[in-house]
A = this chain, B = another copy of it.
């Protein structure tokens, strides 16, 4: 993990999941004075994740902004994360079938909303939780995306951002198991975070992201407090 200069006020692109929650804890532990968790409902089936944000924000003494942008659904159609008719693929998160869970242009959109908010409230950091495990499936989680995004946002908002403004993804080179280990050290309330893509009331334990979550706890040798419908331990 690269050591980043810590700043006064960070907007954290937050899903209520394990990665973005650990990111918020990490920012606070590294001296960020003010945190805003930004959750965006773009019509994802697993919007239950957003209901976790208020609880997580309270535990962190952070602000919480949840935006209802479900009107974006028709624009983002054709992905299993949004389309109620499509099947969320079960299996390993590195399988080719997981491409059905790619939402077109999602991270650029989420980051652009976060950057606009940062400019409006004069925050100096936007942070998001992309990590190395995302790279094979999600093109907008790769380091090359982060670099291209930073350049674009700097040009688009020249003269508008506060001095030292930065877009960071401190977990970019870490695995999810690394994040679980870090989160355990930081006291992240893992049981309050949400990963499952299937849209049920409990973690299904079968979809790609449940599989990834289970595997990360096993590899990190950290007890997994998640309440899965299918709790079998994955082969790692």
**Does A215 touch B at the CB level, under 8 Å?**
no
Closest Cβ–Cβ distance, residue A126 to chain B (whole Å): 10
Q: Which A145-190 residues sit within 8 Å CB-CB of chain B?
A: 145, 148-149, 151-160
Task: Return chain B residues, CB-CB under 8 Å to A159.
Answer: 139
Asked if A112 contacts B115 (CB within 8 A), the reply is no
CB nearest to A41 among chain B residues:
B71
Q: Is B112 in contact with A108, judged by CB distance below 8 angstroms?
A: yes
Determine whether A104 belongs to the interface, using a CB cutoff of 8 Å to chain B: yes
CA distance A74 to B68 in the complex (A): 12
Contact B153 A116 (CB under 8 A): no
Contact with B along A87-130 (1 / 0, CB 8 A): 00000000000000011111111001101110110000000000
In whole angstroms, what is the CA distance A149 to B139 when docked? 15
* A67 contacts the other chain (CB 8 A): yes
Partner of A152, one of B67, B149, B158: B149
Contacts of A133 in B (CB 8 A): none
CA distance A142 to B117 in the complex (A): 22
Find A140's partner among B105, B109, B145, B157 (CB 8 Å cutoff).
Answer: B157
Query: A68 to chain B: which residues have CB within 8 Å?
Result: 71
Contact B108–A156 (Cβ < 8 Å): yes
The residue of chain B having its C-beta at the shortest distance from the C-beta of A67 within the complex is: B71
Query: What are some 30 contacts across the A-B interface (CB < 8 A)?
Result: A65-B74, A65-B75, A67-B71, A67-B75, A69-B71, A72-B113, A74-B120, A76-B116, A102-B160, A104-B115, A104-B116, A104-B157, A104-B160, A105-B112, A105-B153, A105-B157, A105-B160, A106-B116, A107-B156, A108-B153, A109-B113, A139-B158, A139-B159, A139-B160, A140-B155, A140-B157, A145-B155, A148-B154, A148-B156, A151-B152
State the 8 A-B residue pairs at the shortest beta-carbon distance, nearest first: A104-B119, A148-B152, A140-B156, A105-B116, A152-B152, A109-B112, A139-B158, A75-B117
Which residues of A does B touch, CB under 8 Å?
A: 65, 67-69, 71-72, 74-78, 102-109, 112-113, 115-117, 119-120, 139-140, 142, 144-145, 148-149, 151-160
